[in-house]
Amino acid sequence: HLLELAVEIGLSERQRNDIEAIRVQMLADAIAAGERFVAAEQGLDAAFRQAAPDAQTLERLVREAGEARADLRLVHLNAHLLTLPLLTEAQVSQYSVLRGYSDDPCAAVPEGHDPEMWRSHNGCN
């Protein structure tokens, strides 16, 4: 999203390049983590298609799928953390306003967010 809003938040060419490098690495890591997640979920589904798994197998498969999902989420959130030191406070503030994370979060749902979930998470009526 930073690169989409580069002009509005005044990213320098160096910032754009550094953020693009983070994005490229995040994408590669996310694809790998996503493939592990899908494989873990498919393994869980297969266990039920073959026959009901025993409790120990079920626990292992669910934990593997949960860990794979957590790894995928971590890839995304780590990219956010890596970008913060590259930005000025003013850029972070402007980004927050443009994405709908500050001022009144209930006034508008940022593009790319599920409206119902956004309103629920932000306590909107």
- Residue 62 in this model has a pLDDT that exceeds 90: yes
Q: How far from 21 is each of 9, 27, 116, CA to CA, in Å? A: 18, 10, 33
Nearby residues of 37 by Cβ (< 8 Å), 6 or more positions away: 65, 68, 69, 71, 72
Of all residues in the chain, what percent are helix, strand and coil, respectively (each to 5)? Answer: 75, 0, 25
Note the pLDDT of residue 103.
63
| pTM for the predicted model, two decimal places | 0.71
pLDDT at 11 over 80: yes
Q: Number of C-alpha atoms within 13 angstroms, CB side, residue 78?
A: 12
